[in-house]
């Protein structure tokens, strides 16, 4: 059946262009929508491009089978769902078309003229342009309200980022649908104001220009600049290697020269880029595993240039109002795979950042010093970048935890921002209740950020960290304006504990798994209230094995055992808001006991397998002795025992194993 959500139905999706990125866009659509029976067509006038695109798609799926990302039959189904053809008539009946042709304005305008004659009147027509303004691309469109730019990033089937750029004549409902749709299919969209190059490419191409200027000035060779860029800015690959991988020299040359007139005078394709395009040779880059050496003096000079350019470019995007600091931070981190700009600024210090940017501007004519950097340096405060976003739906405040790179894992910033939002909601007369949810579809909250747990060295530090998180969740539980948890994806560890602190819980139907308390697999016990709240919510008999074994629970089972109050296959946020209003009107659906609860005289023995017997002993004390206390005292007792875990060898073993080998690896506990 077709995909229906957010007021639209998609029966067929089209992609124009079987070049470098079009087949990857089609592959992602087919991967996420083939089960709904939404076919994808790729149209290109060049037979060779179609053949190459089809072969590339098959090869990527075969690699997915080899890596066990797909089963062979699933890969075959995804591939069969894509049609590669030279016939534009295949776009008939498409409800969404993404144009991914060459970055030439007349060509794009010609393509959209054809699409308007073939597609349904309400079909969304989008360009995967990386630079051109939607007002220019759709200048001649008969129905510009349905047209916008949707910019993907390399590689499009794996890179989560998409920029959604409405034009001046784009209907607000179309842009809103694009944002919700892309999040629902697993991407990370940001809305960007229309300007040549949008928000991210001026940083990507500008950083390349800064790197190329370092070479032109004789500071270092390309492979050395690449290596320094990776170290200084946390890049996955350096600027020159990125150009080799993406074949981006020609489009970057054109983009930089256009931005010279449309953004600021500093942008301009360097001479060595023109020369490299003329020679058709790749940039000299380090081979796999090759170590690149350089002197401390070279590192300081090159890193100062790159940092000055990068941070100045980011500030210019904010000055121009193209997107928010939160959106730019996320976009750079996941789209360009590098340390995001405001994290770099906070690490360096806002005063030093301004000095670096001013120094770069002094050395490079036309480079602006952003006003936002001057204001931040004058304040003397580090940047505060929201990772918990608030959007009011009438009288309900919706809080969204957005850290897609780590599946919305909890850290100190998340806790403090949730706490601040809850406090603000209490004094907001327009708000009666709240919803807390996660960004995307994979995770509500995947757990506590393990790098935060790794910093615990002593029992007192462990207890303090536990109490800090507990106090935030306690304030949610005690909120006079009820907070409902909308579980958009899995809730593990601290995510489940956050859900347990809410007045009610609603989840998307079919989630498997939905929740788990897997702390024992890390060599710790729950530290944000689960040992006390879970038995009080679902009963001792059900909570006992879930806490001691870390067993995951599906949405259906969570609903049956009483962990959930409801589930839905509709608009989760809207239904959670309705539930929040109901709780505000009528009171909690169920009240969690605030006093001691009866402890069964006998509980089943469990096979712990590889799990730590030492940690299990601490956990059983937390569950059993905590149940005999009032809830508030039991939660404080849990924190003391969480701290006790820090005195064990098994906590070190569990945390180190997770960081080194990932969540699926079994730690070799020594039960001490």
Q: What digits encode the pLDDT tens for the residues 418-453?
A: 999 999 999 999 999 999 999 999 999 999 989 889
Residues of the chain with pLDDT > 70: what percent? 100
Same domain, 320 and 401: no
Identify whether 281 is part of a domain: yes
Q: What is the structure's pLDDT at 1?
A: 67
pLDDT digits (tens, 9 = 90+) for 13-43: 999 999 999 999 999 999 999 999 999 999 9
Burial 152-188 (b: 16+ CB within 10 A, else e): bbbebbebbbbbbbbbebbbeebbebbbbbbbbbebb
Query: Domain of 551: which CATH number?
Result: 3.90.226.10
Structure tokens at 446: 């995947």
**How does residue 193 score in pLDDT terms, banded at 50, 70 and 90?**
very high
Spatial distance between the Cα atoms of 524 and 503, rounded to a whole number of angstroms: 27
C-alpha of 87 from chain center: 36
Note down the domain range covering 75.
Answer: 3-191
Identify whether 668 is part of a domain: no
pLDDT average, residue stretch 45-72:
96
DSSP summary character for residue 518 = G
The β-bridge partners of 9 are 4
Q: How many domains does the chain have?
A: 3
Same domain, 457 and 540: yes
> Cis omega before residue 513 (within 30°)?
yes
Closest residue by Cα to residue 275 from 266, 284, 286: 284
Structure tokens at 608: 């712990």
Same domain, 7 and 122: yes
The answer to whether 602 touches 417, Cβ cutoff 8 Å, is: no
pLDDT greater than 80 at residue 243: yes
pLDDT greater than 90 at residue 296: yes
Same domain, 182 and 252: no
Same domain, 453 and 360: no
- 243-252, 360-369, 514-523, 524-533: the lowest-pLDDT one: 243-252
**Mean pLDDT taken over the chain:** 96
Spatial distance between the Cα atoms of 221 and 239, rounded to a whole number of angstroms: 12
**How does residue 587 score in pLDDT terms, banded at 50, 70 and 90?**
confident
Cβ count near 461 (within 10 Å): 13
What dihedral do alpha carbons 582, 585, 586, 589 form, nearest 10°?
40
Same domain, 516 and 585: yes
Structure tokens at 546: 């879930």
Sequence-distant (≥ 6) Cβ neighbours of residue 423 within 8 angstroms: 475
pLDDT greater than 70 at residue 396: yes
pLDDT average, residue stretch 486-513:
97
pLDDT digits (tens, 9 = 90+) for 136-166: 999 999 999 999 999 999 999 999 999 999 9
Same domain, 339 and 393: no
Closest residue by Cα to residue 78 from 141, 46, 34, 134: 34
Residue after which a domain boundary falls, among 191, 224, 257: 191
Give the HSE-up count for residue 555: Cα atoms under 13 Å, Cβ half-sphere.
18
CA angle 636, 639, 645 (to 5 degrees): 155
Identify whether 309 is part of a domain: yes
Identify whether 640 is part of a domain: yes
pLDDT average, residue stretch 315-330:
98
The answer to whether 361 touches 210, Cβ cutoff 8 Å, is: no
Identify whether 672 is part of a domain: no
Residue after which a domain boundary falls, among 344, 379, 414: 379
Q: What is the structure's pLDDT at 286?
A: 87
Closest residue by Cα to residue 336 from 230, 253, 263, 257: 230
Residue after which a domain boundary falls, among 165, 191, 217: 191
DSSP summary character for residue 126 = E
Query: Domain of 254: which CATH number?
Result: 1.10.1040.50
CA angle 144, 180, 153 (to 5 degrees): 80
Identify whether 29 is part of a domain: yes
Residues of the chain with pLDDT > 90: what percent? 95
Identify whether 581 is part of a domain: yes
DSSP summary character for residue 526 = -
Query: Domain of 101: which CATH number?
Result: 3.40.50.720
Same domain, 517 and 585: yes
Burial 645-658 (b: 16+ CB within 10 A, else e): bbebebbbbbbebb
Same domain, 375 and 264: yes
Sequence-distant (≥ 6) Cβ neighbours of residue 55 within 8 angstroms: none
pLDDT greater than 90 at residue 248: no
Q: What is the structure's pLDDT at 247?
A: 85
Spatial distance between the Cα atoms of 131 and 202, rounded to a whole number of angstroms: 9
pLDDT greater than 80 at residue 255: yes
Q: What is the structure's pLDDT at 663?
A: 87
The answer to whether 521 touches 667, Cβ cutoff 8 Å, is: yes
Same domain, 296 and 172: no
DSSP summary character for residue 592 = P
Distances (CA, A) of 285 to 74, 216, 235, 353: 37, 16, 14, 29
**How does residue 604 score in pLDDT terms, banded at 50, 70 and 90?**
confident
Same domain, 270 and 179: no
pLDDT greater than 90 at residue 99: yes
SS3 540: helix
Spatial distance between the Cα atoms of 102 and 456, rounded to a whole number of angstroms: 52
Identify whether 321 is part of a domain: yes
Token pair 């890179």 in the structure block, residue: 159
Same domain, 360 and 479: no
């Amino acid at each position: 059946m077709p995909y229906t959500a957010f007021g639209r139905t998609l029966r067929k999706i089209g992609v124009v262009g079987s070049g470098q990125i079009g087949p990857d866009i089609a592959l992602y659509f087919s991967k996420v929508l083939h089960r709904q029976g939404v076919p994808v067509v790729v149209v290109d006038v060049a037979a060779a491009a179609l053949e190459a695109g089809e072969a590339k798609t098959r090869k990527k799926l075969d690699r997915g089978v080899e890596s066990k990302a797909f089963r062979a039959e699933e890969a075959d189904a995804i591939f069969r769902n894509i049609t590669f053809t030279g016939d534009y008539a295949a776009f008939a009946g498409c409800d969404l078309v993404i144009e991914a042709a060459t970055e030439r304005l007349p060509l794009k305008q010609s393509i959209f003229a054809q699409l308007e004659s073939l597609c349904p009147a309400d079909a969304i027509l989008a360009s995967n342009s990386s630079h051109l303004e939607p007002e220019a691309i759709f200048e001649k469109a008969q129905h510009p309200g349905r047209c916008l730019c949707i910019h993907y990033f390399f590689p499009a089937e794996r890179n989560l980022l998409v920029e959604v750029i409405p034009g001046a004549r784009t209907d607000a409902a179309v842009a809103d649908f694009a944002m919700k749709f892309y999040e629902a299919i697993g991407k990370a969209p940001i809305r960007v104001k229309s300007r040549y190059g949008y928000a991210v490419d001026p940083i990507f191409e500008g950083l390349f220009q800064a790197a190329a200027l370092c070479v032109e000035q004789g500071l270092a060779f390309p492979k050395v600049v690449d290596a320094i860029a990776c170290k200084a800015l946390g890049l996955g690959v350096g600027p020159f290697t990125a150009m080799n991988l993406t074949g981006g020299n020609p489009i970057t040359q054109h983009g930089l020269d256009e931005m010279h007139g449309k953004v600021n005078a500093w942008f301009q394709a360097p001479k060595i880029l023109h020369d490299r395009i003329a020679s058709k040779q790749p940039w000299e880059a380090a081979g796999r595993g090759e170590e690149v050496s350089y002197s401390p003096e070279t590192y300081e000079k090159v890193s100062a240039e790159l940092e000055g350019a990068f941070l100045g470019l980011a500030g210019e995007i904010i000055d121009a109002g193209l997107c928010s600091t939160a959106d730019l931070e996320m976009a750079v981190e996941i789209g360009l795979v590098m340390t995001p700009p405001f994290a770099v600024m906070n690490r360096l210090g806002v005063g030093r950042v301004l000095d670096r940017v001013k120094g770069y501007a002094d050395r490079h004519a036309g480079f602006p010093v952003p006003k936002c950097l001057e204001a931040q340096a004058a304040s003397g405060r580090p940047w505060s970048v929201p990772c918990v976003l608030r959007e009011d739906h009438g009288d309900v405040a919706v809080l969204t935890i957005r850290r897609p790179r780590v599946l919305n894992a909890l850290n100190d910033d998340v806790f403090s921002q949730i706490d601040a939002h809850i406090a603000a909601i209490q004094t907001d007369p327009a708000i009666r209740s709240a919803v807390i949810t996660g960004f995307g579809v994979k995770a509500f909250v995947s757990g506590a950020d393990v790098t935060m747990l790794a910093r615990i060295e002593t029992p007192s530090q462990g207890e303090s960290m536990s109490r800090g998180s507990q106090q935030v969740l306690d304030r949610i539980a005690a909120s006079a304006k009820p907070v409902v948890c909308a579980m958009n994806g899995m809730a593990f560890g601290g995510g489940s504990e956050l859900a347990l602190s809410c007045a009610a819980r609603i989840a998307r139907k079919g989630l498997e798994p939905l929740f788990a308390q897997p702390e024992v697999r890390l060599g710790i016990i729950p530290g944000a209230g689960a040992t006390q709240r879970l038995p009080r919510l679902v009963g001792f008999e059900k909570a006992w094995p879930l806490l001691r074994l870390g067993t995951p629970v599906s949405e259906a089972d969570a609903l049956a055992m009483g962990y959930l109050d409801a589930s839905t296959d509709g608009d989760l946020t809207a239904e959670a808001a309705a539930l929040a209003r109901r709780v505000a009107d009528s009171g909690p659906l169920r009240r969690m006991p605030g006093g001691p609860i009866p402890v069964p005289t006998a509980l089943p023995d469990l096979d712990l397998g590889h799990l730590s017997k030492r940690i299990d002993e601490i956990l059983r004390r937390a569950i059993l002795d905590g149940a005999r206390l009032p809830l508030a005292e039991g939660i404080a007792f849990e924190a003391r025992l969480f701290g006790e875990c820090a005195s064990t060898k098994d906590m070190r073993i569990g945390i180190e194993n997770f960081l080194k080998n990932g969540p699926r690896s079994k730690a070799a506990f020594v039960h001490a």
